[in-house]
Amino acid sequence: MKLPVSWLADYVDFDLSPEEVAEKLTFSGTEVESIDVIGGDYEGIVVGEILRIDPHPSADRLQLCLVSDGSRELPVVCGAMNFEIGDKAPLAVVGVELPGGMKIKKARIRGEESEGMLCAEDELGLSDDHTGIMLLPREIKTGTPFSEVIGPPETVLNLEVTWNRSDCLSIIGMARELAALLRTDLKIPTPEISESEARTSDGISVTIDAEDLCPRYAARLLDNVQLAPSPMWMQRRLSLCGVRPINNIVDVTNYVMLECGHPLHAFDYALVGDKKIIVRRAVDGESIATLDGQDRPITGETLLIADARHPVAIAGVMGGAGSEIGENTASVLLESAAFDPASIRRTSSQLGLSTESSHRFERGVDPEGVEWASNRAASLMAQLGGGDVAAGIVDVYPGCPGERKVVVRFDSTRRLLGADISDDCMVDILNSLCLTVTSRDESSCTVLVPTFRRDIEIEADLIEEIVRVYGVAQINESVPVSHVVPGASDMPFQMAKACRADLVGLGLSETMNYSFVSAQLLDSCCKYDADSRVVLPNPVSAEHAVMRNSLVPQMVETLGRNLSRQIQETAFFEMGKVFLKKESGEIHEEDRLCMGFMGPLGRTCLDKRRPIDKEEPFLWLKGAIEALILAKGQGQVESVAVEHPYYEAGSSVSVSIGGCKAGFMGLLREDIRRKWRMQTPVAIGELALDTVVLARNAVPELTQISMYPSISRDVAMVVPESATHEDITRIMRDSAPAELTAIELFDIFRTEGLGQGKKSLAYSLEFRSLDRNLTDEDANKYHETIKAALKKELGAEIRDS
């Protein structure tokens, strides 16, 4: 909300700079976001009179004007069209510098001489308006310095009024705040009206059909109104508040709204059918043309102001074009009412139409303020438009708010705030805010809550009032004291944190993606899981329309995006939730860990150029997963070959940790990675985070280490390709005694000499006993047993070394 400081001074006396006022308001709960100075000294700018207008010979959008500056007549080329001969406007002559820094020079514009400029409001720094030149009242003498017309520069505070304080959406509301902070008086003008003989009640009847949505509706009539522009002082105040001046009647409704926060509406009385106002809910299929020129269909719950036949306004939001104040308006029906905030909010958001009026009504206006606002507006209209105010108000008031009293206890207040505020100080603060203390004893006081402060319901609300005026800064900071809450545990968070740290230690960098993705991205990885996807009914964009059901698609995207930026080699992990729709429609959330490897990660820098073999990235990732688990756990990581839509056929496994199914890993399907221009195999794995962190939570079980020396033996063998490392090591372990303490693969090769479908593997075996020195004979015996088992079970051909 915009608050011109000079207007504020109408209602409260203060001896503070605008910055000091801003400081006071900010630290009492209404933040001043910025302070603007609007206007300038306007040196050299005068009121010019347009004497002649000719079309520009070579430009349709320009006009040639002859303008008087009071002493000379100057040719001025002008791009605006909103004026006629005799109009007056601010004229900047050659040599003048405008507030924006633009300097007026003698110029030829499309061949025509121009010695000055007729200014629009934005060029003068008065508003953003650039719809035409700024027209000034014709009665001002030509040549008068513009600064005398517009007045000195004004300071405007831009306020962020909190949602609960609808009473602060007005100049008087803010004056009330400042008066409380300064403990000074608030000066509210008393409207003076001299009513004519005509009686309002003869001219209009008001019926409220929807009392739940309209607690009060008051109508007044004015006759013999002279429509004209408002005086400069009013226009200036309106534009300082960001409201465009229109004419004296409409301007008064806006002026009073800005002044007291109560939105008003003026109808052309002649256009209100049958002299009737009916406040009612819309009927389905109804529509209304609003003041902004739009035809708006209305639905059932919308509150309308109607005459006997048609809607004439959307209550609290915008008036109808059919009863708009116009050139021919001679009598005015002035509406001052209160509406249900929720209803106005609903309508405003349904129509996508937010106005100064709806902004206030949806936060709540005070039904008790209806009469003052009506009187104030009638009085100003009569003063400016010369109208006759009919006697009395037709005031229908079914929803009078009851009296509300709230008790605040002094000791609880002190305890809650941790501050030693005296009883007297509290009572004084409450009274200064018009929260009148009606009674008090040694422990508490009772406050009569005024109708404009409907936000105050319970004691805590009053404590808030006390502390914001007392000053939060006045409360001492207490040194925090640590306390253990018995039974509180955050193991899942701590374990995930440790997991993250180990992944970082393994050289992986953490990524983070949105929880929602495009259906297209999910489809590109797997088209067959659409049933399990949680689709957002109201997404912001198609890019973010579906909740992710896996972290893999975004991992692919992330690797691909990095590759497109020439990052060839990277290892990523992401920890995050996936969302799966069950058949019942219920949504299941699961924390996952996803890892993605791209490029020659496992190679030393001197060995990176060699082509990457398919097995390599898979084994690097597998190694990283094993390292992650074994860093803090003891569960064995087991892989079983399975097919999975994300991965290449024959290159993916399901991963179990310590016997629990954890997820899948494999080589990303080639057609997916080709889309991202990834030339080399990419390994990706996705595991259930719970399984990973639980496996890592093992308490170390120590095994005795042997003090006796070890003996090693090598086994080299030729086996069919179908024999796996796992088969071989299993056979070794099964056949060997407990003295076999380590098996290490140290060579694999395939040559033509070995024959088709064969490979050679070589292992180093370590034997060691816990309780004795092994002899060479012992080792030879074990060695032979193992070799025999390999021959028997795999048909291995043992190569003698």
Shortest spacing between CB 284 and other proteins, in angstroms: 21
538 contact partners, CB below 8 Å, separation of at least 6: none
The answer to whether 603 and 620 are in contact (CB under 8 A) is no
Other residues' Cβ atoms within 10 Å of the Cβ of residue 358? 24
Nearer to other proteins, 538 or 751 (CB): 538
Q: Among 335, 362, 366, 395, which residue sits at the site for other proteins (rule: CB under 8 A)? A: 362
Nearer to other proteins, 285 or 486 (CB): 486
Q: Among 111, 505, 720, 737, which residue sits at the site for other proteins (rule: CB under 8 A)? A: 505
Shortest spacing between CB 575 and other proteins, in angstroms: 8
Stretch that binds other proteins, among 45-53, 118-126, 343-351, 744-752 (CB under 8 A): 343-351
Nearer to other proteins, 327 or 586 (CB): 586
Stretch that binds other proteins, among 88-96, 476-484, 646-654, 705-713 (CB under 8 A): 476-484
Shortest spacing between CB 56 and other proteins, in angstroms: 42
3 state DSSP class of 688: strand
Q: What is the C-alpha to C-alpha distance for residues 661 and 639, in angstroms, rounded to an integer?
A: 10
Q: Among 24, 280, 296, 345, which residue sits at the site for other proteins (rule: CB under 8 A)? A: 345
**Residue 31 makes contact with other proteins by CB under 8 A:** yes
Shortest spacing between CB 422 and other proteins, in angstroms: 17
Interface mask toward other proteins for 556-575; x: CB under 8 A: --x--xx--x-x--xxxx--
Nearer to other proteins, 92 or 601 (CB): 601
Number of residues that bind other proteins (CB under 8 A): 91
Q: What is the C-alpha to C-alpha distance for residues 101 and 280, in angstroms, rounded to an integer?
A: 53
Angstrom distances, CA of residue 377 to CA of 11, 159, 229, 255, 508: 17, 25, 16, 8, 70
Burial class (CB in 10 A: 0-12, 13-18, 19+), 10: middle
Nearer to other proteins, 278 or 575 (CB): 575
The answer to whether 498 and 696 are in contact (CB under 8 A) is yes
Beta bridge partners of 389: 195, 222
Instruction: Please choose, from the candidates 151, 380, 357, the residue with its C-alpha nearest in 3D space to the C-alpha of residue 248.
Output: 380
**Residue 331 makes contact with other proteins by CB under 8 A:** no
Token pair for residue 770? 């816990």
Nearer to other proteins, 31 or 36 (CB): 31
Contact set for other proteins, span 592-611 (CB under 8 A): 604-605
Stretch that binds other proteins, among 67-75, 160-168, 244-252, 429-437 (CB under 8 A): 160-168
Contact set for other proteins, span 518-557 (CB under 8 A): 534-540, 544
Shortest spacing between CB 583 and other proteins, in angstroms: 13
Nearer to other proteins, 481 or 705 (CB): 481
Contact set for other proteins, span 432-461 (CB under 8 A): 458-461
Q: Among 101, 152, 293, 480, which residue sits at the site for other proteins (rule: CB under 8 A)? A: 480
Q: What is the C-alpha to C-alpha distance for residues 111 and 109, in angstroms, rounded to an integer?
A: 5
The CA angle 165-169-171, to the nearest 5 degrees, is: 125
Per DSSP, the residues of 45-92 read EEEEEEEEEEE-TT-TT-EEEEEE-SS-EEEEEE------TT-EEEEE
**Residue 164 makes contact with other proteins by CB under 8 A:** yes
481 contact partners, CB below 8 Å, separation of at least 6: none
Shortest spacing between CB 760 and other proteins, in angstroms: 29
Backbone phi and psi for residue 229, each to the nearest 5 degrees, phi listed first: -65, 150
Q: Among 327, 438, 484, 528, which residue sits at the site for other proteins (rule: CB under 8 A)? A: 484
- Cα first-last separation, the chain: 90
Q: What is the C-alpha to C-alpha distance for residues 290 and 292, in angstroms, rounded to an integer?
A: 5
**Residue 490 makes contact with other proteins by CB under 8 A:** yes
Contact set for other proteins, span 396-435 (CB under 8 A): 415-419
The answer to whether 335 and 312 are in contact (CB under 8 A) is no
Stretch that binds other proteins, among 233-241, 374-382, 473-481, 742-750 (CB under 8 A): 473-481
Output the furthest CA–CA distance in the chain (Å, rounded): 132
Token pair for residue 539? 């997404």
**Residue 162 makes contact with other proteins by CB under 8 A:** yes
Q: What is the C-alpha to C-alpha distance for residues 8 and 27, in angstroms, rounded to an integer?
A: 18
The answer to whether 375 and 219 are in contact (CB under 8 A) is no
**Residue 709 makes contact with other proteins by CB under 8 A:** no
Token pair for residue 35? 């302070």
**Residue 101 makes contact with other proteins by CB under 8 A:** no
**Residue 342 makes contact with other proteins by CB under 8 A:** yes
Stretch that binds other proteins, among 24-32, 230-238, 658-666, 686-694 (CB under 8 A): 24-32
Q: Among 190, 479, 701, 703, which residue sits at the site for other proteins (rule: CB under 8 A)? A: 479
Shortest spacing between CB 604 and other proteins, in angstroms: 5
The answer to whether 499 and 453 are in contact (CB under 8 A) is no
Nearer to other proteins, 603 or 781 (CB): 603
In terms of phi and psi (left: phi > 0; alpha: psi -120 to 50; beta: otherwise), the region of 285 is left
**Residue 37 makes contact with other proteins by CB under 8 A:** no
Shortest spacing between CB 348 and other proteins, in angstroms: 10
Q: What is the C-alpha to C-alpha distance for residues 474 and 421, in angstroms, rounded to an integer?
A: 10
In terms of phi and psi (left: phi > 0; alpha: psi -120 to 50; beta: otherwise), the region of 762 is beta
Shortest spacing between CB 412 and other proteins, in angstroms: 9
Stretch that binds other proteins, among 110-118, 383-391, 490-498, 763-771 (CB under 8 A): 490-498
